[in-house]
Amino acid sequence: MTTWVINLLGVVAIALIIWWFWLSRPKAQRAQLDRPIEIIVDDGVYTPARIEVPLGRPVTLRFIRKDASPCAEKVLFDDFNISGDLPVGRPYDISFIPDKPGEHAFTCQMRMYRGSLVVQP
Ligand SMILES: [Cu+2]
């Protein structure tokens, strides 16, 4: 009986982990083009973690890092060859023109912080 309960708890924990890392779809924040999009970096998550921007228009993403742990210090946009070193407690802007439609991940260097930039044609 006890083994059965422990097994069940294990399965639930695994399901939660899968949901958290792969299945959860945070609400998208739509870009206001004339001002920076603020992204808070804290507690292992980017807030917002899903950002929609139009294709081919300049955007500025303003990262505000509150998490002092080294895990949070870099942000990488692999698909755009962009990276940034985020200072703690001071806004850091990344400006660029998203020129590839689709969904592009942005992460910390260890890929624990995960966000998604949705570029809409
Ligand atoms: Cu990290």
pLDDT of residue 73: 97
Residue 100 φ/ψ region, left for φ over 0, alpha for ψ in the -120 to 50 degree band, beta for the rest: beta
The CA 82 to ligand 1 mean position distance, Å, reads: 16
The CA 73 to ligand 1 mean position distance, Å, reads: 7
| Gap between the Cα atoms of 7 and 15, Å rounded | 12
pLDDT of residue 4: 77
**Statement: the pTM of the whole predicted model exceeds 0.85:** no
pLDDT tens-digit map of 37-81: 999 999 999 999 999 999 999 999 999 999 999 999 999 999 999
The CA 17 to ligand 1 mean position distance, Å, reads: 17
The CA 115 to ligand 1 mean position distance, Å, reads: 12
Neighbour tally for 116: CB within 10 Å: 18
The CA 71 to ligand 1 mean position distance, Å, reads: 3
